[in-house]
Structure 1
Amino acid sequence: MSPTTSRRGRRRAPTRLERAAGRAAALQRPRVVLALLLLLALTCVMLLDGYLRAEVGGDQRVRTGASSDEVPDEILEGGPILTFPGGRATTLSVPDRTIVLTFDDGPDPTWTPKVLEILREHDVPGTFFLVGSMVSRYPDIVEDLVEQGNEVGVHTFTHVDLSYQSASRVTREMEQTQLALAGAAGITTTLFRAPYSAKADAVDDYGWQVYRQLGQDGYTSVFIDTDSEDWKQPGVSEIVEGATPEDGEGASVLFHDSGGDRAQTIEALPEYIERMKAKGYTFTTVSGAMAGQQPAAVPAADGADGGGADGGGAGAGGSLQAAHRPATGVTLYEGKALVAAVAVAEWTVPALSAGLVVVGVAVMGRFALMPVLARRHHRQRNGRRFSWGPPVTRPVSVVVPAYNEKECIENTLRSLAASTHPIEIVVVDDGSTDGTADLAESLGLPNVRVIRQPNAGKPAALNNGIRSARYDIVVMMDGDTVFEPDTVGRLVQPFADPGVGAVAGNAKVGNRRTLIGAWQHIEYVMGFNLDRRMYDVLRCMPTIPGAIGAFRREAVLGAGGMSDDTLAEDTDITIALHRAGWRVVYEEHARAWTEAPRSLRQLWSQRYRWSYGTMQALWKHRGSLTDRGPSGRFGRVGMPLVVLFQVVTPVFAPLIDVFTVYSMLFVDFTAALLAWLAVLGVQVVCAAYAFRLDREKYRYLLMMPLQQLAYRQMMYLVLIHSCVTALTGGRLRWQKLKRTGEVGMPTATR
């Protein structure tokens, strides 16, 4: 029978709760999508940042001693410039008394600008072979470099040795670098220098395949004649001497403007330029050298001057070099998008790193604080001399709000009927359509009253029950919860202290045999009950659980009753009692067994309501921050702790997992795994202590690693979803979860 079909088969109007639930579901779908998109965006940013830092894939040669049998002798014995005009491999040498000054591994924010300043002062051009990931991170430097009249070439995107990569990886490295150049300076280039390359005679069979592939794509590969070996930092004089060609020969000379401390390079470069000029050398670019040897080999782009071989072409605002091509169309826009994405990553990752430090300190501080205060609470409340006062033996009222609880209500009421403490049971049927009220009345249990009301929501049902209660102490419980015989008697003993206005009981997961149930069982024992012990000691308990809580009737009515302003009426009333000056405590021995959600969808719905409702309650009571006297203790202590531990820390806690995955992929897998295991170990220790205090079986702790990998991630998404709803001004009404009634009498569940 459908929810909107009566027993006689006629259609009926949906209840207020059903209408609200339908509207809420329709409104929340876009917010769920937005929450998932935010997490996906964060993941993409982290992956992009890791890739940019060249920590993916091999960054060194993985084979040595490769042969050169397939490489033509004229290539091995030829000049440093390799072209493929008409598909035929050809090498060119730099003209005599000409220097092609090349720089590898940049751009670098520290050293490249200094190199450019030296070139500008000496009116000398350079050819810079740039790493694409660095180009995308420092686009302004590349733009200045090109505008100054220097030439650029591709040095791959991640500085990987292409000799041992697949053809698709080679293509990807080149295309990504070209996109970075397009986004940074609006150009692409035809020049290429392979990482870890040297002179042409060092080309092996693996590298030759790459050079041929790129040659067919129109690239000119550039080797070196002379190596300054500045990367070894041998000293200024040694760098200058190493970069000087012999007997007036032309040379393609290698320097570096990145990849380490380049102070010696910066000091040696002006001395080297002046020395070469004094010997009658001129400086040019790769394109200039090619034009001097074979003017028709590589035609210049429109408006390019080819750089020349007369030492000029380095002035600011120089024309486009022959190797450069203006980036247009899709390439230009994709390049700008890449640079923009990298800028976001460059800002986001450091910010997240700082946030991770804060979150890490908060999380570890909480783990250190909870066991200490929980132990203090346990020893204090279980000491032989501890007493709340004279035993509380007077009857109490138990209010059970119920909406479509026919599967559970019988177990609930029968467990209450077995109570060893005198009670009256007030069942408030909130417009149920499944015969809950009829079933409750048909049981014929003593001291049970059933009050029927039109569907108005849980807070209204609770207020109706409180007003109808005969006694001054009111116990509230959910319609799917089962009490042990001594639960009520234990729960009300703290009211012997006249300052106690409410008592939180120990809620247990009754259906813990399923995987989801077991995960929630761990969460209840560790995350909820250990927290309540801590908050009790600090006298700032934030929530009396709806499954089991007791209140002074006068305290609740004095605070205005149960409000429907928020989705977390239990948190709302608890904070209101604090602000009214009442003390709220936790009674660990008063146990209630509740039915936890069985499916991920139901779990999401429940936790979303909880987390969003908590945010609503905190915002509603933000004025507690300025309350004075004993009633202001929650604002001074509880509010900051709840915001930190239940909102801020959980929202940013995913950073720990995100950075763990990031470190495993891009930094050090072993170190990251050990760090994650260490954090897990701390949590297991805390959980084990919580299980000991609650006298629970330790076997459930075996599921904690899987809980951390799966269940906790879902809780992160739920909280992010709640934050998105709060920021977008969304509203959500009280919702009903589908129950099965599988939680029976306590003796059958343990």
Structure 2
Amino acid sequence: MCRLGRDVRRRSNRGRHAQSRDPRGHWLLLLLVLPVMFAALLFEGWTTHEVDAAKTKRDCTTPVPRAVEKGGPVVRIEGDRVRSAAMPARTVALTYDGGPDPVWTPRLLDLLRKHHAHATFFVRGAEAAQYPDLVRRIQADGHEIGSNTYTGAAMGSASALRAKLELTLTQKALAGSTGIHTGLLRLPLTTTVDTMCGAEWKAAQQAAKDGYTLVAADQWFRNPSQGLVRQLPQNDTAYKETERLLSNPKIENFTTVTAGTGLLSTEEPVPFLERWQGKALIWAKAAGHAFVSAMTWVLAIAGGLGVLRLLMLVFFARAHVRRLTHFQPGAPRLREVTAPVTVLVPAYNEEAGIESTVRSLLASTHQQLQIIVIDDGSTDDTADIATYIDDPRVLVIRQTNAGKAAALNTGLAHASHDIVVMVDADTVFESDAIHRLIQPLAHPAVGAVSGNTKVGNRRRLLGRWQHLEYVFGFNLDRRMFEVLECMPTVPGAIGAFRRDALMGVGGVSEDTLAEDTDLTMALWQAGWRVVYEETAIAWTEVPTSLRQLWRQRYRWCYGTLQAMWKHRRAVVGVGPAGRFGRRGLSYLALFQVALPLIAPVIDIVALYGALFLEPLQSVGVWLSFLALQLACAGYALRLDGEKVRALWAMPFQLFVYRQLMYLVVIQSVVAFLLGTRLKWHRMHRSGTAAQQIGQPVAYQSLTR
């Protein structure tokens, strides 16, 4: 006992020191990184898939002015005055729309260089930002660069804002790649000047106000010897047509649009600041493209892991059902456990629920109980309420505030019996829960037993979400862990232990914030087995606000990471420790750390697909995954004896609750990697754990 007391004090001091630092506000990092990531993704989707871009021109209601229709393909608009120009005889201006294309642009440039010819490339800003090296090569080879807008949208059908962005972003991309602006513009979806009619003519006039010269093309049947502007895409057909024209002996000069028409060069250098703005655009484009590409691979991994986890849970849950009789009272080779039990109830400011907890324990069918309430420096009526309960089986111990682990060790030092049950002070027990909980201890290799924790306050939506998580997540996991012999956590709400097993590992450690997980892992490493008793039911109170939920799960997740790191050597252990390490720790690392880190990609891809790709297909894939989850959750509810109608809340859970859990894991991992240590955050209690079984949910203050 003295040795245990010394260990307790040493662990308490070390634990308080380890937990003395506040979080460094890594959530600020998330608030900065996540919006940037989503902005890059949305920008990539908009530029690549032309969301909201007009892909067809409006029907012309008015023709172009007669002077334009009868003039040349190069048009300048100065107020009400329109001037046009054409190529001189035997001169051809080869113009290429779109791109730069990583396949055909280099081939066209090589072909032009071979024939010592120059051309005008009307690039799209999105491609220019994606392939800046090709834009620089176009410039370095002496060719002229014009704008074909950013995404190739029909400018006459675009909104004023969209039209402005189409031109401005293209200039930014050119500034970042080549350090120039261009004054040449070819309106997408237009060919000859007469196609710049109706809304396109209005767009042309607006562009002219910004200083652009509009470039169309001559009729395809015009004789090259008369001089022409030839419009070509960047593909195999354009390559062949370019090769044919370059071999035409009737053409003497292949030049750029401005050189052929005698206009002053429209390319002009940009200021230093604007050039760096353009580089930022190029980097954003590269980041978005890389993110989308990586997202495809991550989606496959996340989807595969998600489906694998669901299949594993169902498979091992069925296996667990088949072997339940191994630990039931009266089963072959197992005696019924009737030994006396010490129940430890650590409490800090738990006046709302402590009376319901203690009275539910006193109502237990297992009569040989010692109930120790350890008041950990409460500032409310917790200790007085527990003392007021007049029963010789209840012992109340008061101590200065030292934390839950220290309180449990204090109770353990006063325990009179060899079987110890640890419970939370907000938990209400079924009458037969303790008797059922201790039955697996009939097996001499079992050192601890996890009970079945259910949500009591589930009447509101947040409570229903947590109810589904407890049944579908925690309890289904525990069935699998028992079959695989790698139970990582005996929950603080309801767990039974051999006293000598607890003393063998030095009591409850304060090295981590997840003292229950840390203790369970220590028992495995000491050679004990840990099992799950589904029929031992306790009702717990869950957080009633998102803020409280965040704090609780943040502490759980962070503490679990601490415990995993502390017991990482179990993966190379032998016997029970090795099985737990290789199975339990690997599962936690893969499915409860890595998977939540990448699982948001599934939702992101669904949203991305609905916005930019095939909406029906994307939504169909997402709904299929939801249906699989609903089926597995329904199976879990049936195994736990719960009503399947609770599934109605699950689809809504995916939009808020699941995203919050993802953020919790991300924040916890960041905090853990950067060395932040968290302080204990107590959850506000309302004493509603027993809502589902009809017990009182509030207390009457003794001071009233």
**One-letter identity of the residue aligned with 1:740:** S
Partner of 1:328: 271
**One-letter identity of the residue aligned with 2:320:** H
Compared CA separation, residues 574 and 21, structure 1 to 2 (3 A): closer
Partner of 2:599: 653
Compared CA separation, residues 495 and 22, structure 1 to 2 (3 A): closer
- Following superposition, the deviation at residue 39 of structure 1 comes to 2.2
- Following superposition, the deviation at residue 382 of structure 1 comes to 4.8
Counterpart pick for 1:399 among 344, 347, 366: 344
**One-letter identity of the residue aligned with 1:407:** A
* Residues 145-187 of structure 1 deviation map (CA, whole Å, 9 limit, x = unaligned): 1111111111111111111112222111100111111111111
**One-letter identity of the residue aligned with 1:525:** V
* Residues 536-592 of structure 1 deviation map (CA, whole Å, 9 limit, x = unaligned): 111111111111111111112112221111111111111111112111111111111
Contact in 2 for aligned 1:21/1:734 (Cα 8 Å):
no
SS in 1 for 2:582: helix
Q: How many pairs were matched up? A: 681
The answer on 1:265 being equivalent to 2:238 is: yes
Counterpart pick for 1:47 among 42, 45, 58: 42
SS in 2 for 1:502: strand
Compared CA separation, residues 749 and 20, structure 1 to 2 (3 A): farther
Compared CA separation, residues 41 and 21, structure 1 to 2 (3 A): farther
Counterpart pick for 2:124 among 105, 111, 131: 131
Counterpart pick for 1:687 among 627, 633, 645: 633
- Following superposition, the deviation at residue 120 of structure 1 comes to 1.6
For the residues of structure 2 that align with 1:520 and 1:614, how far apart are their CA atoms? Answer: 19
Structure 1 runs not aligned, ≥5 long: 1-15, 228-241, 292-297, 301-321
For the residues of structure 2 that align with 1:749 and 1:58, how far apart are their CA atoms? Answer: 61
Partner of 2:281: 338
**One-letter identity of the residue aligned with 2:271:** T
Partner of 2:356: 411
Structural mapping, 1:456-495, within 5 Å? 456-495=402-441
Partner of 1:721: 667
- Following superposition, the deviation at residue 611 of structure 1 comes to 0.6
* Residues 495-550 of structure 1 deviation map (CA, whole Å, 9 limit, x = unaligned): 01111111111101100011111110011110110111111111111111111111
Partner of 2:31: 36
Partner of 2:7: none
- Following superposition, the deviation at residue 491 of structure 1 comes to 0.4
The answer on 1:60 being equivalent to 2:74 is: no
- Following superposition, the deviation at residue 376 of structure 1 comes to 1.4
For the residues of structure 2 that align with 1:55 and 1:532, how far apart are their CA atoms? Answer: 48
For the residues of structure 2 that align with 1:108 and 1:270, how far apart are their CA atoms? Answer: 18
- Following superposition, the deviation at residue 462 of structure 1 comes to 0.9
Structural mapping, 1:90-489, within 5 Å? 90-227=83-220, 245-246=222-223, 248-257=225-234, 262-275=235-248, 278-291=249-262, 298=263, 300=264, 322-382=265-325, 386=331, 389-421=334-366, 422-489=368-435
Compared CA separation, residues 50 and 441, structure 1 to 2 (3 A): same
Q: Which moved more, 1:492-501 or 1:575-584?
A: 575-584
Counterpart pick for 2:23 among 24, 27, 35: 27
SS in 2 for 1:702: helix
SS in 1 for 2:26: helix
SS in 2 for 1:197: coil
* Residues 215-269 of structure 1 deviation map (CA, whole Å, 9 limit, x = unaligned): 1111011111155xxxxxxxxxxxxxx7xx4161111112222xxxx23433453
**One-letter identity of the residue aligned with 1:605:** R
SS in 2 for 1:460: helix
For the residues of structure 2 that align with 1:78 and 1:495, how far apart are their CA atoms? Answer: 98
Compared CA separation, residues 107 and 628, structure 1 to 2 (3 A): same
Partner of 1:542: 488
Q: Which moved more, 1:264-273 or 1:106-115?
A: 264-273
Q: Which moved more, 1:374-383 or 1:136-145?
A: 374-383
Partner of 2:508: 562
Contact in 2 for aligned 1:55/1:667 (Cα 8 Å):
no
For the residues of structure 1 that align with 2:575 and 2:662, how far apart are their CA atoms? Answer: 36
For the residues of structure 2 that align with 1:388 and 1:189, how far apart are their CA atoms? Answer: 88
Contact in 1 for aligned 2:373/2:397 (Cα 8 Å):
yes
For the residues of structure 1 that align with 2:108 and 2:591, how far apart are their CA atoms? Answer: 50
The answer on 1:666 being equivalent to 2:612 is: yes
For the residues of structure 2 that align with 1:87 and 1:190, how far apart are their CA atoms? Answer: 19
SS in 2 for 1:585: strand
- Following superposition, the deviation at residue 659 of structure 1 comes to 1.1
- Following superposition, the deviation at residue 404 of structure 1 comes to 0.8
- Following superposition, the deviation at residue 443 of structure 1 comes to 1.3
Compared CA separation, residues 573 and 479, structure 1 to 2 (3 A): same
- Following superposition, the deviation at residue 636 of structure 1 comes to 1.5
For the residues of structure 2 that align with 1:388 and 1:745, how far apart are their CA atoms? Answer: 39
Compared CA separation, residues 85 and 392, structure 1 to 2 (3 A): same
The two structures have a TM-score, normalised by structure 2, of 0.93
Partner of 2:533: 587
SS in 2 for 1:518: helix
Contact in 2 for aligned 1:188/1:327 (Cα 8 Å):
yes
Contact in 2 for aligned 1:415/1:745 (Cα 8 Å):
no
The two structures have a TM-score, normalised by structure 1, of 0.88
For the residues of structure 2 that align with 1:651 and 1:153, how far apart are their CA atoms? Answer: 44
For the residues of structure 2 that align with 1:378 and 1:22, how far apart are their CA atoms? Answer: 41
Compared CA separation, residues 146 and 87, structure 1 to 2 (3 A): farther
- Following superposition, the deviation at residue 435 of structure 1 comes to 2.7
Compared CA separation, residues 566 and 247, structure 1 to 2 (3 A): closer
For the residues of structure 2 that align with 1:20 and 1:251, how far apart are their CA atoms? Answer: 82
- Following superposition, the deviation at residue 22 of structure 1 comes to 12
Compared CA separation, residues 35 and 626, structure 1 to 2 (3 A): same
For the residues of structure 2 that align with 1:687 and 1:745, how far apart are their CA atoms? Answer: 23
Contact in 1 for aligned 2:49/2:613 (Cα 8 Å):
no
**One-letter identity of the residue aligned with 1:344:** A
For the residues of structure 2 that align with 1:557 and 1:269, how far apart are their CA atoms? Answer: 86
- Following superposition, the deviation at residue 133 of structure 1 comes to 0.7
Q: Which moved more, 1:537-546 or 1:377-386?
A: 377-386
**One-letter identity of the residue aligned with 2:356:** N
Compared CA separation, residues 247 and 270, structure 1 to 2 (3 A): closer
SS in 1 for 2:656: helix
Partner of 1:4: none
Q: Which has the higher contact order (CA 8 A, sep 6+)?
A: 2
For the residues of structure 2 that align with 1:509 and 1:519, how far apart are their CA atoms? Answer: 10
For the residues of structure 1 that align with 2:62 and 2:17, how far apart are their CA atoms? Answer: 76
- Following superposition, the deviation at residue 87 of structure 1 comes to 5.2
- Following superposition, the deviation at residue 749 of structure 1 comes to 6.7
SS in 2 for 1:100: strand
For the residues of structure 1 that align with 2:51 and 2:18, how far apart are their CA atoms? Answer: 47
- Following superposition, the deviation at residue 726 of structure 1 comes to 1.1
- Following superposition, the deviation at residue 23 of structure 1 comes to 7.1
**One-letter identity of the residue aligned with 2:245:** Y
Contact in 2 for aligned 1:484/1:746 (Cα 8 Å):
no
Compared CA separation, residues 48 and 167, structure 1 to 2 (3 A): closer
Compared CA separation, residues 431 and 331, structure 1 to 2 (3 A): same
